[in-house]
């Protein structure tokens, strides 16, 4: 009897575990299947065409791709130096009494849903951008800034964790040669934690590029490639969030699914690079 | 109650009335300690774990200052000044008083850059000078032959014993006056240990050495003077050959004959 | 000026910059938090919990519909996702261990945890909403389950691996079959960790908006039929906040406040569990 239950239990766990792989495969297959109409009708033009006009049955994803790339790039440019600064502060600089409370608050802020960041952006940041840069305030720039603030807590927390893995004795060795705090950070801590730091930045990039709610509020969903950062724009997730429930033709649907597939492939690739190249999981001994 | 030998030669360091209290502790870990350190000789610190020998060692280059809240009292005289004052220039002090740790601490950079690191911190950029001094330091640390063909390789590819020699090379490269060894062979195999001990003895020509060790045989093999510490106090300081043969203090005798510790 | 003096000056500049960036970063976050609290508390009232949604301009409008919808959608997702996640995590830690299959499942779950959630929404739209012909609470729950699954799976896996193998061996030595060793000994040893994983998993999906946009959709009135479109706090917040009506925007802030407090409490609770465990 025990052997039967034993085998049953083992097999149940295995089937459920395997279902994860199945679901992921199913997601890819479904998105691909629903994208077929668009892939066949538009081919490669889908990603090179810059005109997106559903009423004319024109579906060019370039503005959305451009918007995703530029807004994420802006977010990274702003967030990376801040995250490193915060991480240095938390791991090497802050008085002991501040380390824990500030560190924990940053981690808790990383748990606040992105929709809240988006809402804050809309009500409090859009007016500032409007006053400072002119325009309507809803723009690529706003999206980049809100996105950077949203990913900052996550980036700062993981960068700090990576820096904290540097053994004390290694840091002491550098101090013992007459190094200043900054010498030790730039010559020992950062090189030692390099893989972890870069990996977490790329992971943050992967998350940022797929982020929907933080940017949907403040980007405007305008399918136009503009060099003016203060002009409204769109990104892949923003397009999906705004138009998915409005799609009224087969090709429109299908091209939205192709956008989803594209987004999934892009983020899978970025996250895989971060995971496998930089953050190879340390085996639990 | 402590028996402290008079040191006739010139002194590298002199500890006077020294007390040390960790930030997390109420009681001082080292109490009213006096100790002379002879120049160009090797002084070993022995004693059971927790006796304060590493704590004392880390006071000589003010390593304790890296962690807030630790408190010093008394004096440590180095070059006619008390180095425990708040306005002591720690960077300069640490250049003059180097340290080797319990475990090899190769930095995440090449073998060459490891040895050159201290010099680069001092602003030495001249390539030929760096090359010469790195070569000399590696020769002093008896590791030049093993690494001369792979100076650009990552230092972490070296064996533990080699890494510890590299760390010694790195420390002597900046030409310190004192070198502190904190159980330098505790992570090494017997053959590497013998090599490091030999090296320490050779270094005495140029620097004054203080070595903390949990291994009494090691203290007996390498040192000129030995200090025995117990419960934060220096119980006895004597010439090594005398201290191990005819200890003056009962506690010392009990410790070296293995009655406790 | 000597090189060392230069180094000290550079050091001081960097330390000031680093502190400054910490102040800027934390300042922004405090700003968001205070905006949330000020607007949220201002918008809170009893009627929020007792009234349903109403057209703009009506006095008596609240978030009852969204609160109940949120609880149902997240509740169902938790009810399904937690046991499945624990079972799958059990396989990884206790059976698969370091096998190629187990490692692959770990890798894929890690990637899934960071994958864009809106894509999960699109997937569920295709496999549930399209065949059913309409949006539904079920579809929302399915999307959240898919998001929750890898989180529970990986924390369970990690937490079970932390249980010392001597504990398992001791139980095996008493002649216990493996399923009993796992359910009666290993699970017990990892209880606090798994619980924390569940809390963090629930906290994570409770804040998801994007995957609900075209699965559970929205409903401005109370609906408890999971077969129908259903309101959630997050989608309601989005719709109200982007509306031009001030009273709706106010309700949006109330929703944001309630949701954030809920998620923060779960996170803090989860931390306390782990801390209590470590304190022992």
User: Scanning every residue of chain B, which has its alpha carbon at the shortest distance from the alpha carbon of C8?
Assistant: B91
**Residues of chain B positioned with their CB less than 8 A from the CB of C5:** none
C110 CA to chain B: closest CA distance, Å? 28
Encoded tokens for C87: 């079972």
Encoded tokens for A85: 């600064």
- Contact at CB, B123 and C8, closer than 8 angstroms: no
pLDDT given for residue B261 in this prediction: 62
Query: How many Å is the maximal CA-CA distance in chain A?
Result: 76
- Contact at CB, A237 and C210, closer than 8 angstroms: yes
Domain encompassing residue A249: 45-284
Structural class in CATH, domain B3-256: alpha beta
**Phi, psi of C50, rounded to the nearest 5 degrees:** -110, -20
Task: Give the domain ranges of chain B.
Answer: 3-256
pLDDT given for residue C265 in this prediction: 95
Instruction: Answer whether A228 touches B (CB < 8 Å).
Output: no
Q: What does the alpha-carbon distance between residue A273 and residue B3 come to, in Å, rounded to a whole number?
A: 65
- Contact at CB, B99 and A187, closer than 8 angstroms: no
User: Scanning every residue of chain B, which has its alpha carbon at the shortest distance from the alpha carbon of C3?
Assistant: B123
pLDDT given for residue B233 in this prediction: 94
Average pLDDT by stretches of 10, chain B with 261 residues: 84 95 92 94 94 95 92 95 94 94 94 95 92 94 93 94 95 95 93 93 93 94 95 94 93 88 62
- Contact at CB, A175 and B167, closer than 8 angstroms: no
pLDDT above 80 (res A25): yes
Q: What does the alpha-carbon distance between residue A202 and residue A215 come to, in Å, rounded to a whole number?
A: 19
pLDDT above 90 (res A263): yes
Name which of B112, B101, B103 is nearest B137 in CA terms.
B112
**Residues of chain C positioned with their CB less than 8 A from the CB of B92:** 4
**Residues of chain C positioned with their CB less than 8 A from the CB of A30:** 123, 126-127
Per-residue pLDDT of chain C (280 residues; tens, 9 = 90+): 688 889 999 999 999 999 999 899 889 888 999 999 999 999 999 988 988 888 888 878 889 999 999 999 999 999 999 999 999 999 999 999 999 999 999 999 999 999 999 999 999 999 999 999 999 999 999 999 999 999 999 999 999 999 998 899 998 998 889 999 999 999 999 999 999 999 999 999 999 999 999 999 998 888 899 999 999 999 999 999 999 999 999 999 999 999 999 999 999 999 888 887 665 4
Encoded tokens for B35: 């100790």
Instruction: Answer whether C178 touches B (CB < 8 Å).
Output: no
A277 CA to chain B: closest CA distance, Å? 18
CA A116 to chain centroid: 16
**Residues of chain B positioned with their CB less than 8 A from the CB of A185:** none
Handedness of CA C242, C245, C251, C254 (dihedral sign): positive
What torsion, rounded to 10 degrees, do the Cα atoms A37, A38, A39, A43 define?
130
Instruction: Answer whether A12 touches B (CB < 8 Å).
Output: no
User: Scanning every residue of chain B, which has its alpha carbon at the shortest distance from the alpha carbon of A195?
Assistant: B108
Give me the CATH number covering residue A174. Answer: 1.10.3720.10
CA end-to-end distance (rounded Å), chain A: 34
Name which of A69, A74, A67 is nearest A50 in CA terms.
A67
- Contact at CB, A176 and B94, closer than 8 angstroms: yes
Helix segments in B174-247, DSSP class H = 190-203, 216-222, 240-245
Instruction: Answer whether C10 touches B (CB < 8 Å).
Output: no
Tens digit of pLDDT for each residue in B105-115? 999 999 999 99
**Phi, psi of A272, rounded to the nearest 5 degrees:** -65, -40
Cβ–Cβ < 8 Å for A174, B117? yes
Name the domain count of chain A: 1
User: Scanning every residue of chain C, which has its alpha carbon at the shortest distance from the alpha carbon of A237?
Assistant: C118
pLDDT given for residue B259 in this prediction: 81
Choosing among 3.40.50.300, 1.10.3720.10, 3.40.640.10, 1.10.1580.10, the CATH entry for C64-279 is: 1.10.3720.10
pLDDT given for residue C279 in this prediction: 54
Question: Is A17 within the bounds of a domain?
Answer: no
Tens digit of pLDDT for each residue in B32-71? 999 999 999 999 999 999 899 999 999 999 999 998 889 9
C136 CA to chain A: closest CA distance, Å? 13
Q: Indicate the angle between helix axes A140-164 and A126-133, nearest 10 degrees.
A: 120
């Amino acid at each position: 009897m025990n052997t039967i239950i034993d085998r049953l239990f083992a097999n149940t766990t295995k089937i459920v575990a395997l279902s994860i792989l199945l679901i992921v495969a199913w997601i890819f297959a479904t998105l691909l299947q629903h994208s077929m109409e668009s892939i066949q009708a538009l081919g490669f033009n889908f990603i090179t065409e810059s005109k997106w006009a559903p009423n004319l049955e024109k579906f060019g994803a370039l503005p959305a791709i451009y918007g995703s790339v530029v807004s994420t790039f802006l977010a990274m440019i702003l967030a990376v130096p801040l995250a490193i600064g915060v991480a240095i502060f938390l791991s090497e600089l802050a008085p002991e009494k501040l380390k824990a409370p500030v560190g924990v608050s940053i981690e808790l802020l990383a748990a606040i849903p992105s929709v809240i960041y988006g809402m804050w952006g809309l009500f409090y940041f859009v007016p500032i951008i409007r006053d400072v840069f002119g325009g309507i305030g809803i723009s690529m720039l706003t999206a980049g800034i809100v996105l950077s603030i949203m990913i900052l807590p996550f980036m700062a927390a993981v960068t700090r964790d990576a820096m904290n893995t540097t053994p004390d004795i290694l840091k002491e060795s550098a101090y013992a040669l007459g190094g200043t705090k900054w010498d030790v950070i730039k010559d020992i801590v950062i090189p030692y934690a390099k893989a972890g730091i870069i990996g977490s930045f790329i992971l943050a990039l992967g998350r940022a590029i797929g982020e929907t709610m933080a940017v949907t509020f403040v980007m405007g969903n305008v399918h136009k490639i503009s060099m003016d950062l203060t002009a409204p724009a769109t990104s892949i997730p923003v397009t999906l969030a705004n138009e998915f429930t409005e799609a009224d033709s087969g090709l429109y649907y299908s091209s939205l699914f192709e956008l989803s597939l594209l987004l999934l492939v892009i983020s899978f690739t970025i996250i895989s690079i971060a995971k496998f190249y930089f953050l190879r999981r340390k085996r639990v001994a | 109650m402590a028996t402290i030998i008079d040191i006739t030669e010139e002194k590298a360091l002199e500890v006077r009335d020294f007390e040390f209290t960790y930030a997390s502790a109420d009681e001082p870990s080292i109490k009213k300690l006096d100790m002379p350190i002879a120049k160009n000789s090797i002084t070993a610190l022995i004693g059971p774990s927790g006796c304060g020998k590493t704590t004392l060692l880390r006071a000589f280059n003010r390593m304790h200052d890296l962690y807030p809240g630790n408190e010093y009292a008394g004096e440590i005289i180095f070059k006619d000044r008390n180095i425990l004052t708040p306005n002591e220039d720690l960077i300069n002090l640490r250049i003059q008083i180097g340290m080797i740790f319990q475990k090899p601490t190769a930095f995440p950079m090449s073998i060459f850059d490891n040895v050159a690191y201290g010099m680069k911190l001092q602003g030495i950029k001249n390539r030929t000078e760096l090359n010469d001094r790195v070569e000399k330091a590696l020769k002093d640390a008896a590791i030049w032959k093993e690494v001369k063909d792979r100076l650009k390789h990552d230092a972490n590819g070296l064996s533990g014993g080699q890494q510890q020699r590299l760390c010694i090379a790195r420390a002597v490269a900046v030409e310190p006056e004192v070198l502190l060894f904190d159980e330098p062979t505790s992570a090494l195999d017997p053959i590497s240990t013998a090599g490091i001990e030999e090296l320490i003895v050779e270094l005495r020509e140029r620097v004054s050495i203080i070595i903390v060790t949990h291994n009494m045989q090691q203290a007996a093999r390498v040192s000129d003077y030995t200090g025995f510490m117990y419960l934060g106090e220096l119980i006895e300081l004597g010439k090594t050959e005398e201290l191990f043969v005819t200890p003056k203090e009962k506690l010392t005798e009990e410790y070296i004959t293995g009655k406790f510790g | 000026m000597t090189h060392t003096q230069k180094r000290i000056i550079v050091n001081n500049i960097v330390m000031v910059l680093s502190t400054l960036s910490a102040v800027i970063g934390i300042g922004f976050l405090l700003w968001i938090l205070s905006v949330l609290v000020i607007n949220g508390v201002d918008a809170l009232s009893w009627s929020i919990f007792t009234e349903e949604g109403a057209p703009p301009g009506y006095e008596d409008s609240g978030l009852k519909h969204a609160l109940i919808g949120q609880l149902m959608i997240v509740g169902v997702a938790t009810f399904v996702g937690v046991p499945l996640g624990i079972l799958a995590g059990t396989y990884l830690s206790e059976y698969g261990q370091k096998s190629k299959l187990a490692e692959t499942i770990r890798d894929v779950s890690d990637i899934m945890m960071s994958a864009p959630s809106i894509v999960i929404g699109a997937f569920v739209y295709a496999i549930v909403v399209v065949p059913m012909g309409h949006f539904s609470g079920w579809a929302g729950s399915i999307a959240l389950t898919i998001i929750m699954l890898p989180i529970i799976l990986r924390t369970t896996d990690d937490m079970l691996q932390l249980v010392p193998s001597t504990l398992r061996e001791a139980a095996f030595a008493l002649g216990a079959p493996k399923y009993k060793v796992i359910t009666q000994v290993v699970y017990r040893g990892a209880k606090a960790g798994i619980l924390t994983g569940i809390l963090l998993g629930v906290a994570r999906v409770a804040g998801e908006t994007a995957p609900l946009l075209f699965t559970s959709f929205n409903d401005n009135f109370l609906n408890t039929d999971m077969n129908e479109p259903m309101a959630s706090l997050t989608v309601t917040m989005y719709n109200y906040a982007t509306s031009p009506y001030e009273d709706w925007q106010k309700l949006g802030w109330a929703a944001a406040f309630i949701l954030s407090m809920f998620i923060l409490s779960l996170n803090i609770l989860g931390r306390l569990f782990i801390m209590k465990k470590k304190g022992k």
